[in-house]
Amino acid sequence: MDFILDRDDDAPTRPGFPPIDFKAELNEEQFNAVTAPPGPVLVLAGAGSGKTRTLTYRVAWLLHQGIPPGEIMLLTFTNKASKEMLHRVHDLTGAEANRFWGGTFHSLGNRALRMFGDSPALKLPRNFTILDADESESLLKRVVEAEHKSFFKDKTNPRPGPLFSVLSMSRNTQKSLAQTVEDHYPQYSDIAVSLPTFAKAYEATKREQNVVDYDDLLELWLKLLQEDPKVADYFAQRFRHLLVDEYQDTNTIQSQIVDALAPHHRIMAVGDDAQCIYSWRGANFENIMTFLERHPGAQLHRIETNYRSTPQILNLANGVLLAQPAGRHFDKELRAHRANSQKPYVVQTMDDREQAEFLIKRIRALVEDEGVSPHEIAVLYRSHFVALETQLAFSRAGVPYHITSGVKFFERAHVRDLVAILRFVYNPTDESAWQRCACLLPKIGEKGASKIYHAALDHARLMQQDFVDALTTDDVKSKVPKGARDEWPSFCASLKQTADAMRDESPQITVEVAIDGWYGDYLKGAFADYIDRLDELGALAGFAARYTEMQDLLAQIVLLNGETSDRSVDSEQDAIRLTTVHQAKGLEYDVVFVIGCADGQFPTRRSIEAGDVEEERRLFYVAVTRAKNELYLCYPKVATKAGPGGMLLSPSRFLQELPPDLYEGLRIKRAYGW
């Protein structure tokens, strides 16, 4: 027999739980969502509106209505989020966290498989072990080599890591491998026909070894729910209330798990369609958009009171959303809880150097004159290459900064690889540079690289020959491991082409020749995000355009690497934050600068060419809603030469769509005044 949740708002506190005045502690929007009657509920929680608070109080409300903790499941995307919410529930109610099923999709999937993995639907022994990422890639490598011995010898084919990414994306989006390659990894279209065979062999090998990988924790859990009625009934009967955090970030398989767990439709999904920005990870925008259709009778609650930003910043954020195509989003309007302040600024500069100089001048004024803490200032950007000039300018000016979205530009692996090639060609006696170049080849480690190097050095000295030419001689080739010999001719030819360009052409042309040669093919197989990394190497070519001598370019790169070391920062409290917008989601800062707000940079050139900029628009919305007090949207009129996006730039369409009364325009004058 089903039960009905008591809706008496003034019901007495349940025994064992301290009293909570829900009406006093929540605003009206939050209260209505927290106390919604049982059934499907979609809560659209706008940026800065108290999403976590709403979920936490929903759990507390259920407990106060007599729902046992063991009947509540809380699904999150990070263990940190789950622990934080359950810790708050404990503070509110005294209920211990271990009385709930709360955690990430993957952690709860593991728990389910430990209980029911040996069911007839799976026949997975309960003592299975879980492969970590490196182990999964290693197993896939062995399986592929057993199926196709020479597959990884072709440097344009994906290495085990990128290949695993392709298979993982296919599994999480529930799309065919062919469609996955077409949608996300077009550089691998030539080998798409081989992927189903590899995937099948990989799955069979895991079964033989009684191991699962990270994706299996979802796939096999869903299979249990869909194919074993007893297991499905267990979950449906035990967990009478399902709460899902960040629902807009669910991928296809996660959404299917949620629906399969709750045939009773007692789901509260909390999210924001305007912050769905992870399609490149497999997140499916349609999950939140079709929730109401998949769960008939669902209630829709909007939480739109924003406690983070000023009214002027929120007016601009609302303007971004108003430009969305009709029918492809939920209507929402953020309302500010705070008092009025200044409008956001749109800052036009001549180029990215002037953009960086503006940042330095304004940041110094904020810190030195206005008392803003450096760690409350963030510089956000769509792509890493956009931040190159900012990093260089900050380093030269002694502005401490901390990159929270990975490593600094010149420390990124592919940038260091290409710089090593340039260093070696410029100075063949630089054995450190040679080591990094040679070890990119298959089957060559440090010892093998050293043997080849000294053989070439001896031959070059004996024959009074150029070192790069000596690499192609029989004496040297005999030292090359068998596994690297197929690539050796193209590797050496590329070094020779780079050397010729270095002698006859500018540093910029030399960098472009190096990118177009052997390393460009290597990059395609080595990294699943090949296209993004290629854009960043294009920015390196743009940086090289400043120099007429290769020695000056290489010297500056080394000096800048030293100058940008985090060792100069006494603590993260003393540093400006530099980060991609993706990494900034969920964070907030007193002052936010969004740089590169130009078509081709934000939105990206590829999204414009594909005619699909809506996720870029949502990403722009996320960027502007990180700001609490001040917001600066900056764009250069001229792109770095040879950088992605061409020379002349237009303001981002997201800026052009905004009514001019939502912002103040600034144009940088000569000597960086405004």
Annotated binding site for ATP: 45-52
Which amino acid, one-letter code, is at 557?
I
User: Which residue ranges are tagged as binding site?
Assistant: 45-52
C-alpha 373/C-alpha 84 separation (Å) is 26
HSE (side-chain half, CA atoms, 13 Å) at 649: 31
8 Å CB contact between 307 and 648: no
Helix axis angle for 229-238 and 105-116, nearest 10°, is 120
Dihedral of the alpha carbons of 271, 277, 278, 283, in degrees to the nearest 10:
50
Backbone angles phi, psi at 377, to 5 degrees: -120, 130
8 Å CB contact between 276 and 249: yes
Which of 55, 54, 87 has its CA nearest to residue 73?
55
Pairing of strands 627-638, 335-336: unpaired
Would you state the structure tokens that stand for residue 359, as one six-digit string? 């940042």
Q: What angle do CA 399, 403, 405 make, to 5 degrees?
A: 160
Pairing of strands 72-76, 241-244: parallel
Going by C-beta distance under 8 Å and a sequence separation of 6 or more, which residues neighbour residue 480?
444, 452, 488
Backbone angles phi, psi at 88, to 5 degrees: -65, -40
Kindly report the number of other CB atoms within 10 A of residue 405's CB atom.
16
Measured between its terminal Cα atoms, the distance across the chain in Å is: 71
Would you state the structure tokens that stand for residue 297, as one six-digit string? 């009778």
C-alpha 376/C-alpha 324 separation (Å) is 30
8 Å CB contact between 246 and 148: no
Q: What angle do CA 166, 621, 106 make, to 5 degrees?
A: 40
Query: DSSP assignment, residue 374?
Result: G
What is the residue whose two structure tokens read 């929540």?
Answer: 26
Handedness of CA 622, 626, 629, 632 (dihedral sign): negative
Backbone angles phi, psi at 164, to 5 degrees: -65, -35
Which of 241, 235, 307 has its CA nearest to residue 269?
241
Kindly report the number of other CB atoms within 10 A of residue 12's CB atom.
8
The beta-carbon contacts of 119-128 under 8 Å, at least 24 apart in sequence, are 119/224, 119/228, 119/230, 119/231, 120/228, 121/223, 121/224, 121/227, 121/228, 121/231, 122/220, 122/223, 122/224, 122/228, 124/210, 124/212, 124/220, 125/210, 127/210, 128/210, 128/211, 128/212
Dihedral of the alpha carbons of 302, 303, 308, 313, in degrees to the nearest 10:
30
Dihedral of the alpha carbons of 563, 569, 573, 574, in degrees to the nearest 10:
-70
Which of 476, 468, 475, 511 has its CA nearest to residue 493?
468
Dihedral of the alpha carbons of 578, 580, 586, 589, in degrees to the nearest 10:
30
HSE (side-chain half, CA atoms, 13 Å) at 11: 16
